[in-house]
Amino acid sequence: MEKNLTASGLTLNFDTIYDDYETFMNESRDPIYRTILKAFEKLKDREKVSVNVFANVEMTEFESELEFTKSNLDILTDVINPYFEEREEYELCAKVMKILSELKN
C-alpha cells in the first residue's frame, strides 16, 4: 500500500489483489480510516480534501474518490471515532475529538 499527498488531497494505492469487496473492506478499513482522519486534519487549511482509493478487487481496477468538507464532520463522530474506540486506540480517539473541536471553531 502506498500513500501520497497530492494537491487535491490524499491517495491510497493498495497493491494486493482482493478476491472480493468484503475482503477488501475488512483488510483496508484501518488505513482508509486513518487517511480520512488525516484528510480532516488538512481541512484546517483547505475548504475540501479528497481521498482517492485505488485497488484491484475481483480482478477489476477499483477507484473511488471520497471528498470531505467541514459539513461532513458527522463522519468523525459516527464512523471514525467509534472504529478507533472499538479497537481501544484512545490516543486516536483523542486526536479525532481535537480535530473535531478545531474544525467547529
Residue-wise pLDDT for 79-95, tens only, equals 999 999 999 999 999 99
More confident residue, 2 or 50: 50
- Half-sphere exposure at residue 63, Cβ-oriented, CA atoms within 13 angstroms: 3
User: Would you put residue 41 in left (φ > 0), alpha (ψ -120 to 50) or beta?
Assistant: alpha
SS3 of residue 8 by DSSP: coil
For residue 22, what is its C-alpha cell? Answer: 468484503
Residue-wise pLDDT for 8-32, tens only, equals 689 999 999 999 999 999 999 999 9
Taking a C-beta distance cutoff of 8 angstroms, is the pair 27, 87 a contact?
A: no
Q: Where are the domains of the chain?
A: 2-104
* CA-CA-CA-CA torsion sign (39, 45, 48, 54): negative
